[in-house]
Structure 1
Amino acid sequence: MTGLRTAAEKREEFAKLHKDGCFVIPNPWNVGTARCLEDLGFKAIASTSSGHAHANGLPDGAQDLDTVLAHLKELADSVDIPLNADFENGFSDDIDKMQQNIVRCVAAGVAGLSIEDAPQGEATGLYDFDTAVTRIKAARRAIDQTGERVLLTARTEGFIRGAPDIDESVRRMKAFADAGADCLYAPGIKSREHIAAIVQAAGGRAVNFLNPTALGYTVEDLAGMGVRRISVGGSLARVAMDAFLRVAQDIARDGNFDGFANVISNADLNQRFEKHIKA
């Protein structure tokens, strides 16, 4: 049963996880998947904007702030391990409004949050360098003014937003570290050379690596490269959606129910979640 640890305790634990070593921070998209990941022994979880949006029948980046905040609070309240929020661009191009939104995100009970250097919902294009750095500084101030120990992850989106320039990514990572980010994140990089460049740019701060597909790296490999945190983004959610679509397509196209073979039983799931029922 959850509710044993306070938000402050989870935030303290999350900060400690980033001090040394390497850990996996998988991405659930609802309470059930969050609790399963906790039961499996993961030390922290992170929300996935794409996984939650797709579960609600929307493209990534299309959900409104209130929906996301309600989702984050539900996740944070459902487990006793820390939650990092995929907070996209802070849900506003306006810096003052972004700061207000960050304060609301902290109030939802998260232990950390990430801010991207790209406009909300856009497939390509980044904020210019000076604007991006200013926004990370503002995000740091907003968190600090809450008085809560919430970890700030700064993301540079070039490799997934049509601007795959490692030199610019390094430039931004260095500036974001100087601006007060606790963790640096360049989703979309894949090669050992690019990983090494980002780790070096972080200057000792934690680096998050996105491992969204079968790249061939193990946790041990990435730890050896200096990565401290490994996330999977929307990949677990896509695994579930892929299985759902393949089996449903077999039924619709062929009238074939073979996809139901060897799936987890209703009884097994009931047993897994029974402990979470409050007396």
Structure 2
Amino acid sequence: MPPAHANDSKFAGTIPQLYERYLVPLIFEPYAVDISRQVARLSPGSVLELAAGTGVVTRHLASDLPADVSIVASDLNQPMLDVAAQRGTARPVTWRQADAMQLPFPDQSFDVVVCQFGVMFFPDRAKAYAEAARVLRPGGYFVFNAWDRIENNDMVSTVCGALDELFPQDPPRFMHRGPHGYFDRDVIAGDLARGGLPRSDIALVPHTSRAPSANDPVLGYCHGSPLRTEIEAKGPDALDRATDKATAALLERFGSGPVEGRIQAVVAIARA
């Protein structure tokens, strides 16, 4: 099914920079380390990354994989790739704007396709998985992750709980329907099978999220993601009020010093 809101997969304006500054170290870095090491263990000769965002996984792949392994990092949003390219990698990679629903690559082009926290935004996941299967060589792997249910991710659930209180008649639901809306492992396995990837291993993987203060998660979630667009639509001062409300909720739960909370994701490995 298509996303409920057209802007859910749009990362533009200042969102890419704030995403990179606050959300990447907060929640994406630990899983980027894991997924890059998993890809390295598969000993690929060529890798395609989907939904590369601002390049956190790309940077790890460039460091973890031998220099002769080709890496193509793609994303639907060119502004995210611009930030990734500006940030740079340890060795050259190819940056490519591309839609995962219709990949601009020939059949059987890659040994591994990898995607960190992007599959939740695909309008038709089985079709996207079929595209991944198409560009994989026989015996290749599709490796990806998706966030577990929001209740199992402490900081974002606290932020969203505060927004529920602030906007009780029409609370913003980007985090629920987008990042945290695709966690059922049976559903994921079914989508993979319909996409031609019936052999899959899907597991829950926990990590710990850390930030110097409550301010960082609020700036990440409320300013550095498409949640911002949904908040701003509620009025000219809505973002300021949301920032204050979410910060107060995090301070109440985690205290005024460095903050630490649980994060959890679903990690899948499917073989072509």
Q: Same fold (TM over 0.5)?
A: no
Higher strand fraction (1 or 2): 2
| Relative contact order higher in (CA < 8 Å, ≥ 6 apart) | 2
TM-score by length of 2: 0.32
